[in-house]
Amino acid sequence: MNPLKGQVVLVAGASRGGARGIALACGEAGATVYVAARTSRSGPKPADGAPGTVEDTAEEVTARGGIGIPVCADLSKEEQVSELFGSIEREHGRLDVLANSAWGPNVMAEWSKPFWELSQPMWPETLSTIGVCWLTSVYAARLMTKARRGLIAHVTDNYYVPDDVSSGGPHPDPSAWRGQILHDLGHESLNRLIFGMSKYTKKFKVAVVGLNPGFMRTERVLMAMKTDAIKKQYRLDLSETPEYLGRAVVALATANNTVEKNGKLLWVCDLAQEYGFTDKDGRYIPRFDPKAPIQEFPC
């Protein structure tokens, strides 16, 4: 079954992390997936050595039944965004889904530092992350509003993290403190852009939404979980794979009621219940709750 066969998807940031999970899930659903990110096999690697390239992800998309197209690009640069969307329009004449989980600053490495001690690149990388959301949405909306259909999904974060990590979790206030100043600023900016963009896309039947995953076992998260004590502190036992997020995108892209969710910040676990999907290991993962009973660490 290939519910996205014939559909064209662009995933921003898809060399690794949540965006890679989205690309793989869309590929498994049969989509043509443009896998866009800055890291390629022939270019410079991240300073922290995190694995993943656009070619790696694109090859796995194809292996799963989709068509993976690697694109090495900095999507915070308008000329590169324009070139990519020009290629999509020439080659397909449409874009059905834009999914953005690009995130520049590695906040985990400097989480507990006060803002005046953060490394200099953290600020411009945060601004670039917001720029990716803006630019890709602008160009995607130009194609989608003409077609009067489409889904724009930006991955965000509405978990709050107080000084005592063990008492953090979901919060009814989407603007609650997220635990690190630039992590907080970046996601708050994404949320406001999602809200504002949705006011303009509604009449064109284009849905702009925010997606809140739980605690994902991304490459960088796994790199940070060096000991069982750290895993226990951050509750890795309650984590989910990035493909749980990806399956949420597939569900929204194929649902009949997606436009009704325009402008909303959606939880992946709530969408799993609504649309009946699970994580790749067959489990339903509820909202992250640090007070939940200890489970075995997932593989």
Read off the CATH number of the domain in which 111 is found.
Answer: 3.40.50.720
pLDDT score at 177: 83
Q: Determine the average pLDDT of the residues in 101-115.
A: 87
What's the token pair of residue 244? 């749980």
Domain contains 183: yes
Domain contains 175: yes
pLDDT digits over 134-152, tens only?
Answer: 999 999 999 999 999 999 9
Domain contains 33: no
pLDDT more than 70, % of the chain? 95
Cβ atoms 100, 155 nearer than 8 A:
yes
Q: Does residue 86 or residue 172 have the better pLDDT?
A: 86
How many CA atoms within 13 Å lie on the side-chain side of 112?
A: 3
Domain contains 120: yes
pLDDT digits over 185-235, tens only?
Answer: 999 999 999 999 999 999 999 999 999 999 999 999 999 899 999 999 889
User: Binning pLDDT at 50, 70 and 90, where does residue 175 land?
Assistant: confident
pLDDT score at 178: 84
Domain contains 65: no
User: Hey, which residues does 208 pair with through a beta bridge?
Assistant: 152
Return the exposure string of 109-136: e unless at least 16 CB atoms fall within 10 Å of the residue's CB, then b.
Answer: ebeeeeeeebeeebeebbebbbbbbbbb
Q: Strands 159-160, 169-170: parallel, antiparallel or unpaired by DSSP?
A: antiparallel
pLDDT digits over 158-170, tens only?
Answer: 765 555 544 555 6
pLDDT score at 176: 82
Domain contains 124: yes
pLDDT digits over 41-56, tens only?
Answer: 999 999 889 999 999 9
Domain that holds residue 250: 73-275
Q: Give the three-class secondary structure for 126.
A: helix
User: Hey, which residues does 37 pair with through a beta bridge?
Assistant: 72
What gap in Å lies between CA 75 and CA 39, rounded to an integer?
12
* pTM, to two decimals: 0.93
CB atoms within 10 A of CB 86: 11
What gap in Å lies between CA 270 and CA 31, rounded to an integer?
24
**296 has a pLDDT exceeding 90:** no
Domain contains 67: no
User: Binning pLDDT at 50, 70 and 90, where does residue 291 land?
Assistant: confident
Domain count of the fold of the chain: 1
User: Hey, which residues does 106 pair with through a beta bridge?
Assistant: none
Domain contains 285: no
